[in-house]
Chains A and B, each alone.
Chain A
Amino acid sequence: MEFITQIFSYPFAVRAIIAGLLLSVSAALIGVNLVLKRFSMLGDGLSHVSFGAAAVGLACGVAPLQFSIPIVIIAAFLLLRLGRNSKINGDAATAIVSSSALAVGITVATLTTGMNTDISNYMFGSILALGKGEVVVAAVCGGMIIAIYVLFYQKIFAVTFDEDFAAVTGVKAKWYNSINAVLTAVTVVIGMRIMGALLISSIITFPALSSMRICKHYKCTVIVAAVVSVVSFLTGLLLSFAFDIPAGAAVVLTNLAAFLILSLVGKVKQI
């Protein structure tokens, strides 16, 4: 208990927790849609693009987050479009883009600044090193994503379940797909700072997969995914403080534990 009050006495830790909680919820919301639309790999691809962009940004002396966001948004649009109507298969396109971006990032970083702590912070995340400005950006983006998701909840469900039908009833399906691309991109970039480029995609897909083990309704899936994500984040963060392990890795491991537990619960429920 003392340990927990101690954490809250550090302003940097409180900042990290607030940013992380908002990120956890928005990643879970985005994740439900990506998993259901069979775009799970998008988060992974974008995280590598985000890393590449951040490395280039660092090398050029531009703020890496502000530099990454537009680039990752463009990548998200391209990948979603490629997935839909080109001769290249979406998965293959994502794989190509993701490894190329990673390679560009590593090359640029090695040639300029070297693989220093800044670079490794983007690779593995550094929640405790978040500056005040970054926390504000993360909080605003996270809050915005959650607000959009709630305000347009019914339309987002309709488009996710049956895009053609939704479009026929007058829902601007293409517009919602674009919003989805932008929100995914923003979540990935912010999440990279906190969780690391290598781990961010797992906190997008894990909560959705976990909640789908036990939920048969959409609303239940969304709520349980958000709860799983928040609980895993807090538990992971505590573990990372307690055992001095990287926060990103700890959060992914607690997510894995949650997935295994809910899978078991789902199996038991079926019997």
Chain B
Amino acid sequence: MSLITVKNLSAYYESRKVFEDVSFTVDEGDYLCIIGENGSGKTTLMKALLGIDIKHTGTVLYSGFCKKEIGWLPQKNQHQKDFPASVKEVIMSGFAGKGILGAFYSKKIKEQAKQNMRLLGIEGIAEKSFSELSGGQQQKVLLCRALCAAKKVLLLDEPVTSLDEAASEEMYSLIKKLNRDGMAIIMISHDISRAVAEAEHILSLSNNGFFFGTDAEYVEHVKGDI
């Protein structure tokens, strides 16, 4: 049984169609990269999966988890530069959807947050100010926040764009590690060759339709085009 099954999904802004009739599946522990040119609708597709107000037709089915148990790393954070928040506060907000009230988090949740921070190697900066971190560190913190919200799947929107070489490598290896631990990954990427190297499946969006298959099938598919 697939974790996520998408059938004939089309999305619109106003009346303009962004993409049409996209179908694909994501299995437990899968690693899917979504590629395509700027404006091809990758972010829109991800938002439709997340259930953010995107006008769409077609179906998105989840099994084994519910929508609010998806971990999401949004594209390029538009957080204000001077927002006063500690790394810990940002990470804990991954749990904000749980429960009705929320003056404090339980011991169990705090322990889970600590464990996730250790996993990503950021327990040392827990008390630092989020807005004063480097871009790479901020992405790691936001990955950790996503991890706190996630049960089985992470949705990452261009997680390494605008990071330097070393920070990108670190992000890629952390994502790989999470994937090996059983987390399914859906990642939007700009770097096609890297996407093919990292992922097991590729979803490519373009103006004239979409491609979905394994990384090897994608390489074959592109060869045929040339």
Which residues of A come within 8 Å of B, CB atoms? 36, 38, 150-155, 157-158, 161-162, 164-171, 212, 215-221
Evaluate whether A169 and B84 lie within 8 angstroms (CB atoms) in the complex, with A153-B103, A218-B89 already known: no
Please report the C-alpha to C-alpha distance between residue A38 and residue B80 in the assembled complex, in whole angstroms.
10
A185 to chain B, nearest CB (A): 23
Q: Which residue of A lies closest to B73 (CB)?
A: A165
Evaluate whether A169 and B97 lie within 8 angstroms (CB atoms) in the complex, with A36-B80, A164-B74 already known: yes
Q: Is the CB of A171 within 8 A of B96?
A: yes
Which residues of B come within 8 Å of A, CB atoms? 50-52, 67-68, 70, 72, 74, 77, 79-80, 82-86, 89-90, 92-98, 101-105, 127, 129, 131-132, 145, 149
Q: Is the CB of A161 within 8 A of B93?
A: yes
Q: Is the CB of A157 within 8 A of B96?
A: yes
Q: Which residue of A lies closest to B148 (CB)?
A: A169
Q: Which residue of B lies closest to A37 (CB)?
A: B80
Please report the C-alpha to C-alpha distance between residue A157 and residue B97 in the assembled complex, in whole angstroms.
12
A217 to chain B, nearest CB (A): 4
Q: Is the CB of B82 within 8 A of A171?
A: no
Q: Is the CB of B102 within 8 A of A154?
A: yes
Q: Is the CB of A217 within 8 A of B84?
A: yes
Please report the C-alpha to C-alpha distance between residue A244 and residue B145 in the assembled complex, in whole angstroms.
53
Q: Is the CB of A216 within 8 A of B84?
A: yes
Evaluate whether A212 and B52 lie within 8 angstroms (CB atoms) in the complex, with A161-B79, A162-B93, A171-B97 already known: no
Set B82, B92, B97, B127: member contacting A170, Cβ < 8 A? B97
Q: Is the CB of B83 within 8 A of A36?
A: yes
Evaluate whether A165 and B74 lie within 8 angstroms (CB atoms) in the complex, with A154-B92, A212-B82, A215-B84 already known: yes
